[in-house]
């Protein structure tokens, strides 16, 4: 049985958000899943920790649910609050701690499908909903079982988390490889095997993602956004931005496109 109580996707809190069941927010006795589009703070193991955008967390019933935007920043996420007695959910190995799925776009689309299906107001034993949850949890399980078995898993995850949080830093293959004591070639191969993308492309994608947020939610100039995202040359930034998004930064801002 799966009973979806509330769900939604791509909801933007322009002025930020603080959600804490200890402050009276609902949902303490239910499961709650989140997919974050923006960096966020989570209460994990008795302390407040920052996690990058495109993270997933599965809160269990009876566990404190605390998450918030970064100070002064907007916050956007997908969410599903639900009750269940399904064993594949109750036995999921990673709960109450955010993690980064290896295919975040796929996971985001599954959240959307769950929201659409739940809005149809079907029975709690809706087979379509059950199948959607099975696909979602199998995807997350497969991703994490595969990642955890890889060598240097913890070191690579920590490195990528730091890079996603601060893509504007001067990341390059040499300093990333030396951070976990690997040679260039070995590091690049392991990184791509683990995350499905090269470390250089991952940095570029993270920088362009940060640039999209700055262009949408601030009035800073294109040159200022380029600098904030780690680019020394505005022209180089504009070329990479256009290559990835298909439009110039100025056009992106004017049309208000959501990446």
Q: Give the residue among 114, 126, 124, 111 at the shortest CA–CA distance from 83.
A: 124
CATH code: domain 2-149 is: 2.60.120.280
- Give the pLDDT band (50/70/90) at residue 151: low
Fold match between 2-149 and 153-255? no
Take residue 74 and report the two structure tokens written for it: 């907007």
Distance, CA of 175 to CA of 252 (rounded, Å): 32
Distance, CA of 57 to CA of 78 (rounded, Å): 11
Q: Does pLDDT of 73 surpass 60?
A: yes
SS3 72: coil
Distance, CA of 136 to CA of 131 (rounded, Å): 9
Q: Where are the domains of the chain?
A: 2-149, 153-255
Residue 19: per-residue pLDDT: 97
Distance, CA of 204 to CA of 202 (rounded, Å): 5
Taking residues 209-219, report their average pLDDT. Answer: 91
Mean pLDDT lowest for which of 54-63, 95-104, 162-171? 95-104
73 contacts 123 by C-beta, under 8 angstroms = no
- Give the pLDDT band (50/70/90) at residue 259: very low
- Give the pLDDT band (50/70/90) at residue 258: very low
pLDDT digits (tens, 9 = 90+) for 193-209: 888 899 999 999 999 99
Residue 142: per-residue pLDDT: 67
Q: How far is CA 25 from CA 47, 66, 193, in A?
A: 19, 9, 40
Taking residues 198-221, report their average pLDDT. Answer: 94
Distance, CA of 153 to CA of 92 (rounded, Å): 19
CATH code: domain 153-255 is: 1.10.10.60
85 contacts 50 by C-beta, under 8 angstroms = no
pLDDT digits (tens, 9 = 90+) for 241-253: 999 999 999 999 9
Beta bridge partners of 184: none
pTM greater than 0.75 (yes/no): no
Mean pLDDT lowest for which of 35-39, 67-71, 190-194, 199-203? 190-194
Helices and strands counted in the chain (H then E) = 10, 8
Mean pLDDT lowest for which of 43-47, 58-62, 102-106, 150-154? 150-154
């Amino acid at each position: 049985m799966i009973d979806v109580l509330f769900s939604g996707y791509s909801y933007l809190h322009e002025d930020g958000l603080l959600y804490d069941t200890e402050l009276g927010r609902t949902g303490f006795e239910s499961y709650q899943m989140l997919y974050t589009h923006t960096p966020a703070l989570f209460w994990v193991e008795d302390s407040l920790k920052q996690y990058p955008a495109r993270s997933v967390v599965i809160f269990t019933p009876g566990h404190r649910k605390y998450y918030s935007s970064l100070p002064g920043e907007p916050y956007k996420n997908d969410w599903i609050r639900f009750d269940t007695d399904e064993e594949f959910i109750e036995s999921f190995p990673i709960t109450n701690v955010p993690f980064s799925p290896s295919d975040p776009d796929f996971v985001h689309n599954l959240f959307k499908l769950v929201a659409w299906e739940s809005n149809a107001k079907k029975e709690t034993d809706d087979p379509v909903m059950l199948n959607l949850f099975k696909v979602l949890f199998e995807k997350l399980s497969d991703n994490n079982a595969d990642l955890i078995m890889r060598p240097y898993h913890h070191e690579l995850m920590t490195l990528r988390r730091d890079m996603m949080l601060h893509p504007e830093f001067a990341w390059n293959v040499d300093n990333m490889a030396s951070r976990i004591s690997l040679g260039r070639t070995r590091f690049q191969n392991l990184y791509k095997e683990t995350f499905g993308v090269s470390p250089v492309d991952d940095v570029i994608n993270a920088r362009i993602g940060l640039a999209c947020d700055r262009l949408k939610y601030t009035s800073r100039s294109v040159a200022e956004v380029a600098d904030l995202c780690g680019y020394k040359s505005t022209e180089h930034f504009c070329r990479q931005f256009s290559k990835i998004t298909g439009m110039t930064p100025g056009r992106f801002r004017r049309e208000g496109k959501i990446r």
